[in-house]
Amino acid sequence: GNITPNNRTTQEVFKCTACGYEDNADHVGSTNVLDRFNLFHWLGVQANRLYSVDEYERISPKKVSRYYLRNILNQYYKARGFLHHPVLPSEVNSVRTVLKV
């Protein structure tokens, strides 16, 4: 999606500067954390494509190109068959998701 500090101008409200979606900021943040958790478990043994696990079993994202990440995310979304994220792109096609109407 559209990641910028301008999306969260107050502590309570998230408003996307790209599409105008607005919701409780904590709800949007928790949805994003859940999506990352689900993605990690969906990847299973291939999780090392996107994440590193240190000696204390902390997970941190690897630096990958946006094209590599886009490919993995599109596979994930297609495998799920639907998105429950507030913004429902038909496909993740750029850093700023474009909604097709």
Is 97 a member of any domain? no
What's this model's pTM, rounded to 2 decimal places? 0.49
Q: Residue 46: which pLDDT band, with cuts at 50, 70 and 90? A: low
Query: Strand pairing of 51-53 and 59-61?
Result: antiparallel
Alpha helices in the chain (DSSP H): 25-43, 66-80
Is 98 a member of any domain? no
Is 87 a member of any domain? no
Q: Residue 15: which pLDDT band, with cuts at 50, 70 and 90? A: very high
Q: Does the pLDDT at position 86 exceed 50?
A: no
Range of the domain at 23: 5-80
Whole-angstrom distance, CA of residue 99 vs CA of residue 92 = 9
Distance from chain centroid for Cα 10:
21
Q: Residue 73: which pLDDT band, with cuts at 50, 70 and 90? A: confident
Is 57 a member of any domain? yes
3-state secondary structure of 59: strand
Is 58 a member of any domain? yes
Indicate the number of domains in the chain: 1
Residue-level pLDDT at 1? 65
Is 101 a member of any domain? no
